[in-house]
Amino acid sequence: MSALIARYEAFINPHWSEVLHQLGEQPVFVRAKDEYLYDDAMTPWLDLVGHYGAAIFGHNRQELKEALYTALEADIPCVTPLGLNDLSAQLAIALIERLNLSGPWRLSTLTTGTEAVEGAIKAALIHTGRSRLLVRRGCFHGSSSLAMHLTDNALWRQGFEALPCPLDVVYFDDIHQATRELASGTFAAMLIEPFQAIGGGVRCSAQEAEQLLDACTASGTVSICDEIFSGLGRCGHYSAMQALGWTVRPDILLLSKSLTGAFFPSAHVLMRAPIADSIFGRPGCQKILGSTFANNALGFSVALTALGLLDRCLADSLAGQLRSDFVQALHGVAETVDPPLQVQALGACIIVEFCDAQTCFFVWHSLFANQILTTVCSNKPSCLKVLPSLTMHADSYSRFIDVFTAVVAEC
């Protein structure tokens, strides 16, 4: 055992280290660049996890580092609890334009995605005076003491039964069930992901979205769209809503991962102005959503630069063709298996579904043994999630296809 591993096990988490040991590798990553992580032997690992989707531009993108350096060199105030920050307004305007949001909107910036989810729920509770939530099965909205109740997968709540949900959460399977529930007029909010990554790629089509959001409007229910994972490039557009052709927009939109540059946390709650007025307009509650490092000027600097970089990446036809060719190659490999694997892609989020969870784990483990990192969809463990960066190189795509082809042949 190396001294590095021994120190980690002594002071951090020996249980996680043991899991890695059982998998055959205990990588200690010391460098990250583009789509690769490098362990302490400088072995390159192809990273198709990418900070769970946050590394949309790869690791340590130079433009994002320079934005942070510039902000630090300028000695700008990191947080201004008793002042105003113009960078936040600049970011709000840039997001509203790119997401095609009409009418007055307000931006509230927090630190983590889970904070954003809980902030949106708080706003909905205040705005409606109700305490019921409607959530689609298979979703994932975080693992805090409240957010863990927003998924129907009991795994996230195992052992935490002493932390009951303070709200009445109802899960729905299909859109017709959801609209029937909403007709009761008793729900504060309906929370949905346009594209369920952890749920194995379940989509909310444009037609379904129109039915859902119309039902929310008719029943006075706040519609919340969680695009913390899917938004801003991951699904090939500024939002999964746009990628899926939605013609309607929710009342609250949640964003995060792509705006962090994969190194400076920030999460963003865009809400229609009347909802923002409901929660912030109360006496003494003008800053009721926040935390110590919320509304961070350094985070805004990175986020604004990330948006500019995203504009260029989404317009890069060569990179888009590389992703398309990669998906086509995956389909070709999938057809060599009996029964064939199911491959679906939305932009740079690719889901491969196997016949069962055991086969999926075998493939995931085999890729790991070949220094390729992917994730299993925890809410649908027969599915493998592959997350290339928007700037991934052709030889990295080829490396994955070569190893994946050999691994699948052994299934």
Domain positions in the chain are 3-61+317-409, 76-313
Which residues, including other chains, have CB under 8 Å from residue 356's CB and lie 6 or more apart?
A: 382
Give the DSSP H/E element, type plus range, for residue 359: helix 357-369
Contact 195, 235 (CB under 8 A): yes
396: its two tokens: 């990295």
Q: Which of 43, 26, 21, 95 is nearest to 308 (CA)?
A: 95
Handedness of CA 67, 68, 71, 76 (dihedral sign): positive
Strand order in the sheet with 372-373: 29-33, 36-39, 44-47, 372-373
pLDDT tens-digit profile, the chain (411 residues): 688 899 999 999 999 999 999 999 999 999 999 999 999 999 999 999 999 999 999 999 999 999 999 999 999 999 888 999 999 999 999 999 999 999 999 999 999 999 999 999 999 999 999 999 999 999 999 989 898 999 988 889 999 989 999 999 999 999 999 999 999 999 999 999 999 999 999 999 999 999 999 999 999 999 999 999 999 999 999 999 999 999 999 999 999 999 999 999 999 999 999 999 999 999 999 999 999 999 999 999 999 999 999 999 999 999 999 999 999 999 999 999 988 999 999 999 999 999 999 999 999 999 999 999 999 999 999 999 999 999 999 999 999 999 999 999 998
Using the CB atoms, write b or e for 9-44: b if 16+ within 10 Å: beeeeeeebeeeeeeeebbeeeebebbbbbbeeeeb
**Do 3-61+317-409 and 76-313 share a fold?**
no
C-alpha 383 chain-centroid distance? 17
Looking up tokens 């020996």 gives 14
Torsion of CA 155, 156, 159, 161, to 10 degrees: -110
Distance separating alpha carbons of residues 376 and 201, to the nearest angstrom? 12
**pLDDT given for residue 210 in this prediction:** 98
Report the alpha-carbon distance of residue 377 to residue 407 in Å, rounded: 19
Residue 281 tokens read as 């307009």
| Cβ atoms within 10 Å, residue 122 | 16
Instruction: Report d(CA 322, CA 315) in Å as an integer.
Output: 13
Q: Which residues sit opposite 195 in a β-bridge?
A: 203
**What pLDDT, on a 0 to 100 scale, did the predictor assign at position 37?**
98
Residue 411 vs residues 14, 331, 367, 371: alpha-carbon distances, Å: 32, 16, 13, 19
| Global pTM value | 0.96
Cβ atoms of residues 94 and 128 within 8 Å = no
Whole-number Cα distances in Å, 178 to 134, 173, 175, 387, 409: 8, 8, 5, 30, 42
DSSP code per residue over 307-344: HHHHHHHHT-HHHHHHHHHHHHHHHHHHTTSSSPPEEE
Give residue 205's identity as a one-letter amino acid code: S
So what's the pLDDT on residue 213? Answer: 98
- Check residue 1 and give its pLDDT: 62
207: phi then psi, degrees, rounded to nearest 5: -65, -45
Residue 241: count other Cβ atoms within 10 Å of its Cβ: 26
> Residue 236: what pLDDT?
95
Residue located via tokens 């009991």: 154
**Closest C-alpha to 251, from 202, 192, 293:** 192
φ, ψ dihedrals at 134, nearest 5°: -115, 125
Report pLDDT for 411: 83
- Select from 3.40.50.970, 3.40.640.10, 1.10.260.40, 3.50.50.60 the CATH code of 76-313: 3.40.640.10
At what angle are helices 317-334 and 394-409 packed, to 10 degrees? 10
Question: What are φ and ψ of residue 46, in 5° steps?
Answer: -75, 115
Cα separations in angstroms, 256 against 36, 260, 270, 322, 403: 22, 7, 11, 26, 32
CA distances from 200 to 334, 342, 344, 354, 365 (A): 17, 11, 10, 11, 18
Report, at the CATH architecture level, how domain 3-61+317-409 is classified. Alpha-Beta Complex (3.90)
Tokens of 149: 């109740």
